Amino acid sequence: MTVVEDELSLVFSALADPTRRAILERLAQGEATVNELAEPFAMTQQAVSKHLKVLERARLISRTRTAQSRPCVLDTEHLDVAAGWIARHRQIWADRHDRLDAHLTALRAGQTQDGETTR
Amino acid sequence: MTVVEDELSLVFSALADPTRRAILERLAQGEATVNELAEPFAMTQQAVSKHLKVLERARLISRTRTAQSRPCVLDTEHLDVAAGWIARHRQIWADRHDRLDAHLTALRAGQTQDGETTR
DNA sequence: AGGTTGCACAACCAAGTAGTTGTGGATCTT
DNA sequence: AAGATCCACAACTACTTGGTTGTGCAACCT
The domain that holds A7 is classified in CATH as: 1.10.10.10
Residue B54 and residue B18 in one domain: yes
**What nucleotide is nearest B65 when CA is compared to C1'?**
C7
Q: Is the pLDDT of residue A36 over 70?
A: yes
Residues of B in contact with A86 (CB under 8 A): 15, 79, 82-83, 86
How far is residue B23's CA from residue B1's CA, in Å, rounded to a whole number? 29
Residue B26 and residue B55 in one domain: yes
Helices (H) and strands (E) in chain B, counts: 6, 2
pTM: 0.77
Q: Is the pLDDT of residue A77 over 80?
A: no
- The range of the structural domain enclosing residue A45 comes to 2-77
Inside any domain, residue A6: yes
- Mean pLDDT throughout A73-79? 74
Residue B11 and residue B58 in one domain: yes
Inside any domain, residue B119: no
Higher pLDDT, A80 or B10: B10
Residue B23 and residue B53 in one domain: yes
B90 closest CB neighbour out of A16, A79, A88: A79
Inside any domain, residue B114: no
Inside any domain, residue B28: yes
Q: Is the pLDDT of residue B97 over 90?
A: no
Helices (H) and strands (E) in chain A, counts: 5, 2
**What nucleotide is nearest A63 when CA is compared to C1'?**
D7
Domain count across chain A: 1
- Mean pLDDT throughout B78-86? 80
- Mean pLDDT throughout B83-104? 64
Please report, as a single letter, which amino acid is at residue B74: L
**Does residue B3 reach within 7 angstroms of strand D, measured from its CB?**
no
